[in-house]
Structure 1
């Protein structure tokens, strides 16, 4: 059983399915009830995902034994900072080291786009995600943006691997 992670267009069948599952999980946890298909569609409409391709970003899909299992994106905020976004592993694939591999590749892709720092925002109730980020060297930082679903921000300097 192995992971394969690679850049992939955000609108492939697998990427779209992963993005829908991501939004379903984070929305359902926030609302404390299952999100409807219509709510998921509304949440994904005009969400800026089209920026998650070079030179403004990147989107990755992870497969475990060929099955679409994980995704994540990065968005260049400026010439030095990239924002980590849409990091998601389907529940059946958690605990199999995929999240760590996904973060490492996202950081590598950010460096390729010129980023020296990665930042992210998340909610306090997403404790698993917050734990993952801290384990990988992300530290709490002052807010770099505002929004309804932003409770805490993290940042990490990206070490060059030339």
Structure 2
């Protein structure tokens, strides 16, 4: 029996090949789930273009990848916002890796990196159909509250104090 390789979480540039690949899979997943069918290439690229990621670099933000060996299992990003708040974005776990704690590892590391950047709280938005995400956020202590943006695809808004 071969031992399982550990899952490693590390920061990466949003312009790296790995980040671009996982970002594309993220958009394919969320656009497809929104429409209830596989997303077309055009729909995926249009959604991706509407949410640029060039600011997911320190000191403006961060992008984390979860890897097991050479395989990217998922990602999570954060943008620094006024008032020492971080806005979580792009939380994604590959379908084959779901239910194995990858999302929790990504979020815990994102919280730690956000504290290192001096942030006091994290906030995020998500959709009603992303049931697993909402469950994860609640289990990590994120509290659902009032809207903090007008994103037309957001139905739920969460916040967690980091202090």
Q: TM-score, normalization: structure 2?
A: 0.93
Output one character per residue of 1:75-100: Cα deviation in whole Å (capped at 9) or x when no partner: 11114100110000001111222111
1:109 alignment partner in structure 2: 113
Superposition map of 1:4-15 within 5 A: 4-15=8-19
User: Do residues 130 (structure 1) and 130 (structure 2) align?
Assistant: no
Number of corresponding residues: 159
Residue 65 of structure 1: CA displacement?
3.1
User: Do residues 31 (structure 1) and 35 (structure 2) align?
Assistant: yes
After the TM superposition, list the runs of 4 or more consecutive aligned residues in structure 1 that deviate by more than 4 angstroms. none
- In the aligned structure 2, how far is the partner of 1:112 from the partner of 1:46? 29
| Structure 1 stretches lacking a partner, 5+ long | none
1:42 alignment partner in structure 2: 46
Q: TM-score, normalization: structure 1?
A: 0.94
Q: SS of the counterpart of 1:54?
A: coil
- In the aligned structure 2, how far is the partner of 1:54 from the partner of 1:74? 10
Superposition map of 1:76-155 within 5 A: 76-155=80-159
1:68 alignment partner in structure 2: 72
- In the aligned structure 2, how far is the partner of 1:6 from the partner of 1:79? 26
